[in-house]
Amino acid sequence: MNRLRALHPSIDIGFKALTRNRLQTGLTMLGITVGVATVLAMMAVGAGAQRSIEQQVRAAGLNQLTIKAGNWKPKTEDSGGAVAHQGDAEDTMRLPVEELMPVLPDAGDPFAGAADILPIDFHPEDDPMEKHDHPLAWQRLGDLEAGLGAATTLSFADAEAIRQLPGVQYVAGGVHGNARVHYRPDGAPEKRWFTRMHGTDLHLLDIKRTWTLRSGRFFTEEEQDDKAMVLVLGSVVAEKVFGEKVDPVGKELMLWNQNFRVIGVVTSASWVVRPAAGDDEFDAVYMPYTTTHQLLNLTKLNDITVTASSTGEVSDVSKRITELLRQRHNITNEKPDDFTISTQATRAITTGGLPPNVAAAIAGNVKELERVTLEQLAGTLERASGTMRWLLAAVAAVSLLVGGIGIMNITLLSVTERTKEIGLRMAVGARGRDVTRQFLTEAVAISLAGGAVGVVLGLVASYLISSTLRWATVVSPGSVLIAFGVSAAVGVLFGWYPARRAAELDPIDALRHE
């Protein structure tokens, strides 16, 4: 207690000394201020990344399930290695379609029915020397050769049936492929872009909660029913074909030699997922699956995406869908499923390079799955925000060092100026440690004052980072405390030497000092 009381006048005396050298004090504080501000901003970026992970997990949907046509199971020890990747439908569909011939949907199809006679292990486009002058494979061969053949069993009716299940929130059936879009502006050279094509359901936008419409709208129920020739572009396609400044809504695009009207542009609302050429979501075009079916003469779906009303229901919903589809597809007890249900978590595991037996061991334990998903997202974010944080850490280190040297300088100045006072204090009974404490208090007072300004500046910086760079930042009371702690630590660290020097003064010499 006595020490605390003794501290109070020291603080008072310290502040008096600080106001005497206002300019020096201000300049000294500046270094600490910048340092603390960057420390705070650094932590805000880190915490923001952390928070984003949680948001992404929620948004990108632990409540999301995807039912894919065909069966896929991880290879396990006791399965004897019999089951491996059978290749899901989507992979099969990555056909070399660079030389697709434009074709009208109602054009005569000389190869109609070929699916019935062609052996499945033969593909007419397997031969690299083959000149692909035949009509579009999908239309010519129908569902089978489009990868929607033998393994493909999902239908729009399945999707409708799933929609009626309890616990199901949204359902969107999809058919996917690659396509080249052509844009022919008046008098200008044609622009082409090779991209992903998704025939999908109008509910897709409800499922993709990390998406946002940059302009226009998604297609409506009428357009879906009418098999309307409308396209929603991913932002990458919009930029590659129309340029960054042009709003493509209302423009006409050619796809499969058909005219489509652009009605909207989707992009990522999340800073974690940035649209990039070659991705599946934003380097893509979307149309009603009815339109795809009509144009390509298809009836089946590649996959059905389902969201459960809540994350906890994912397992139940998955079970119900399995039962429903087995029943609808007339699968008897001994036969395996002809579809694969995966959740966000299982996808993370199976694409995460885990050995199949490990993946199988983890599968089924939902909590583990969520953890793995979280860690994977964390990894992505860590890399994304890492550079930013290193930069901030460097700035923080340099400015704290400069600020610390400034504090050492001003404290040394103060010690020199008040040598006589130190002598007097010693004469009336101050011990070395009393003198040390007085000057340390002074140094810490400067650094804390600088730190307080730094905290304010750091809050502003964090706000600017999130508003201009679109980085998520979170400033917690804890990080403000840490920032203060850092400034106090700098004060102690750099005030120590001058304070010790003051304490080691000889009282007689100090008293004689002028």
Half-sphere exposure of 56 (CA within 13 A, CB side): 25
| Residue choice 125, 368, 382, 434 for contact with another protein (CB under 8 A) | 434
By CB under 8 A, residue 429 contacts another protein: yes
Q: Does 6 bind another protein (CB under 8 A)?
A: yes
Q: How far apart are CA 242 and CA 235, in angstroms?
A: 10
Between 10 and 292, CB nearer to another protein: 10
H runs (alpha helix) in 418-476: 419-427, 432-468
Task: Find the helix packing angle between 477-503 and 366-417, rounded to 10°.
Answer: 30
Nearest-CA neighbor of 289 among 150, 93, 156?
156
Closer to another protein by Cβ: residue 430 or 475 = 430
430 binds another protein (CB under 8 A): yes
Query: Binding marks (x or -) toward another protein, 483..512, rule CB under 8 A?
Result: ------------------------xx--x-
Cα 268 from Cα 280, distance rounded (Å): 12
Instruction: Report the length, in residues, of the chain.
Output: 514
Q: Are the C-beta atoms of residues 30 and 113 closer than 8 Å to each other?
A: no
Q: Which of 65, 232, 426, 449 binds another protein (CB under 8 A)?
A: 426
> Total residues contacting another protein (rule CB under 8 A)?
23
- Residues contacting 252, CB < 8 A, separation 6+: 259, 260, 261, 262
User: Tokens 């486009």, residue?
Assistant: 125
**Binding status of residue 245 toward another protein by CB under 8 A:** no
Looking at beta carbons only, is 17 or 148 nearer to another protein? Answer: 17
Look up residue 285 and give its DSSP letter.
E
- Three-state secondary structure of 102-157: CCCCCCCCCCCCHHHHCCCCCCCCCCCCCCCCCCCHHHHHCCHHHHHCCCCCCEHH
Inter-residue contact 346 to 65 (CB < 8 Å) = no
Residues 305-344 contacting another protein, CB under 8 A: none
Least Å from the CB of residue 400 to another protein: 32
By CB under 8 A, is residue 300 in contact with another protein?
A: no
Site for another protein in 406-425 (CB under 8 A): 420-421, 423-425
The residue range among 65-73, 82-90, 379-387, 428-436 that interacts with another protein, by the rule CB under 8 A, is 428-436
Q: Can residue 22 be called a binding residue for another protein (CB under 8 A)?
A: no
Distance in Å, CB of 430 to another protein, minimum: 5
Stretch that binds another protein, among 6-14, 219-227, 232-240, 299-307 (CB under 8 A): 6-14
Cα 452 to Cα 460: distance, rounded to the nearest angstrom: 13
CB 416, min distance to another protein, A: 16
Nearer to another protein, 6 or 84 (CB): 6
Q: Measured from the CB of residue 488, what is the shortest distance to another protein in angstroms?
A: 23
Binding site for another protein (CB under 8 A): 1-2, 5-6, 9, 13, 16, 420-421, 423-432, 434, 507-508, 511
